[in-house]
Structure 1
Amino acid sequence: MIEEILRNVGLSDKEIEIYLSALKLGPQPASVLARSAGLNRTTTYAILETLFRKGLISQFIKAEIKYFSVISVDNLVSFVERKINDLRRTKTDLEILIPQIMSYINPESSKPRVVFLENLPGIKKLYKEIEICDAEIYTLFFFSPDTILQAKDEALEMKYEFLFKRLENNNCRTLIFADAKNVVEVRNYFRDRNINLEEYIKFIENISFPENLEVNVFLNKVFFVTYNESKLSAVILEDALISSAIKSVIEEVLKK
């Protein structure tokens, strides 16, 4: 039972042998611990150094001989807590680097990849990925002031919240489709939020665009989001050629 717990903590079998020997025998030279654990002295010294770096044992000199001893069993808990904190930091770093890691995929060697999302947490996670992406983001969006004023459910509120965050970051090239009758109101809505309307946003009037559809393009991904009856659904298409084509169309429209 004890060995299994120590193994789950992250110690190797040999580290466990040395640690338990030091625990049972108290302060001892490496030669005594090696004999107790059934290991050679060279291997034992290497393991003791590893356990010392992990903060699980201490070492001191007595009569010109180096002794090793377990500091405190409580240090096992501290060791686990440090590992948890390290993993959390690694997880955060990894989440930030995912878009860069994905950019290493060779688009010529793989077929277009399609992923379907129908749960809010999954879609929210992808919105977050877009938000922290360093690359430019291209968006097609139907915007209606009436719609946002009526946004009472979590799904629609999240959809608009992430749109504003992207626009405020000034790295989102966006085509906003709006009814001609309320385009002035829509422009004022964005100006009131100090969002740059000149370089990054172009309003498209009198073109039929589905009110419940949003399209985002970033890196080599095309992210389609549909909203229907208080429910968000999404399709992610990964393909360099398709994403590049949509980006080019949006760039051309923004120039006009």
Structure 2
Amino acid sequence: MLREYLCQIGFTSNESKVYLELLQVGAQPASLLAKRLSMNRTSVWSLLKSLEQKGIVSSYSSKKILYFVANDPNFLIGYIDRKCRAFDYYREKLISVIPKFRGVMDDFVFQKPVVSFFDGLEGVKHIIHDFLNANCEKRGYISLNKGFWSDRDFSDSFRDALKRKTSKSFKIILPNFDEIKKIFNFNNKNVEVLCLDKVDFGKLFENEMAIYGDKVCILNFDKGVEYGIVIENPKVADMHKMIFDMAWNGIQ
């Protein structure tokens, strides 16, 4: 049991064996200790020097013979304290260089997109609320499905969310329908709306798309088959942000 405790705090199995033997028999030269343990003398010598570095074994010379003796078990507490301080130091150092490790990962490893599927109207609303409450730049295409936006409770909560003051830009491209335009009939300098005539819109945005942070969301509002797909990946999101900005600048 004692050997297991020592191994749990960082001792090797043989270090534990040597230390416990020294505790039991007292000061010993490496050669005699090796015989008692039926181990190679060179190996025992290396183990004793390792334990000495850990601060739990001491050595002294008598009649030109070097003896090793186990320190009081309280020295084990000091050993643990030193390890904790060292780990705390290296933990702080590691925190400071984590961005550099991430930089290596970003440069050489393609992160697979995380794709989530949300079924039903409540799932779609969950995605939209996440979109509206995200603290980042937002871009969105509003769908042609007027029925969804005629839901008074939802359209009111949607408009209230858009009215919140934020330092992040919010750009929306939507069809030129009166029902939908009423939702965005407010004064918020951070929310920019671009309306397109139906003839220009065509079937391009029959589904809604929301782009924010590292997420691209595709939403279908057809009654009875509502669903949402969320693709989470920085490179995919950056590509769609670029496409949106090109469309925004080109339409204007």
Q: TM-score, normalised by structure 2?
A: 0.51
Q: Quote the Cα distance in structure 1 between the aligned partners of 2:66 and 2:211.
A: 68
Q: Residue 60 of structure 1: CA displacement?
A: 2.1
Equivalent residue number for residue 206 of structure 1: 193
Q: Quote the Cα distance in structure 2 between the aligned partners of 1:88 and 1:223.
A: 35
SS at match of 1:61: strand
SS at match of 1:58: strand
Bigger Rg, which one: 2
Structure 2 residue 63 is matched with structure 1 residue 63: yes
Output aligned runs, 1:12-91, within 5 Å: 12-91=12-91
Q: Residue 89 of structure 1: CA displacement?
A: 4.3
Structure 2 residue 134 is matched with structure 1 residue 140: no
Structure 2 portions without partners, runs of 5+: 117-134, 140-159, 173-183, 196-209, 218-229
Q: Is the 8 A contact 2:60 2:66 kept in 1?
A: yes
Q: Quote the Cα distance in structure 1 between the aligned partners of 2:3 and 2:47.
A: 16
Output aligned runs, 1:212-227, within 5 Å: 215-216=212-213, 222=214
Q: Is the 8 A contact 1:175 1:250 kept in 2?
A: no
Equivalent residue number for residue 238 of structure 1: 233
Q: Is the 8 A contact 1:139 1:214 kept in 2?
A: no
CA-to-aligned-CA distance 1:213-241 (integer Å, 9 cap, x gap): 8832xxxxx2579xxxxxxxxx782353x
Q: Quote the Cα distance in structure 2 between the aligned partners of 1:19 and 1:10.
A: 13
Structure 1 portions without partners, runs of 5+: 117-137, 149-159, 161-166, 168-173, 184-202, 217-221, 226-234
CA-to-aligned-CA distance 1:142-162 (integer Å, 9 cap, x gap): 9979747xxxxxxxxxxx9xx
CA-to-aligned-CA distance 1:104-156 (integer Å, 9 cap, x gap): 4478875723177xxxxxxxxxxxxxxxxxxxxx94159979747xxxxxxxx
Q: Is the 8 A contact 2:163 2:188 kept in 1?
A: no
Q: Quote the Cα distance in structure 2 between the aligned partners of 1:79 and 1:214.
A: 53
Q: Residue 26 of structure 1: CA displacement?
A: 1.6
Closer, same or farther in 2 for the Cα pair 1:82/1:108, shift >3 Å? closer
Q: Quote the Cα distance in structure 2 between the aligned partners of 1:236 and 1:93.
A: 34
Q: Quote the Cα distance in structure 2 between the aligned partners of 1:204 and 1:145.
A: 7
Q: Quick one: which of 183, 187, 200 aligns to 1:181?
A: 187
CA-to-aligned-CA distance 1:171-212 (integer Å, 9 cap, x gap): xxx6356986243xxxxxxxxxxxxxxxxxxx452359xxxx
Residue range with higher mean Cα deviation, 91-100 or 53-62 = 91-100
Q: Residue 11 of structure 1: CA displacement?
A: 1.3
Q: Quote the Cα distance in structure 1 between the aligned partners of 2:30 and 2:61.
A: 12
Closer, same or farther in 2 for the Cα pair 1:223/1:70, shift >3 Å? farther
Q: Quote the Cα distance in structure 1 between the aligned partners of 2:77 and 2:64.
A: 32
Percent of matched pairs sharing the same residue: 23
SS at match of 2:82: helix
Closer, same or farther in 2 for the Cα pair 1:146/1:239, shift >3 Å? closer
Q: Is the 8 A contact 2:211 2:237 kept in 1?
A: no
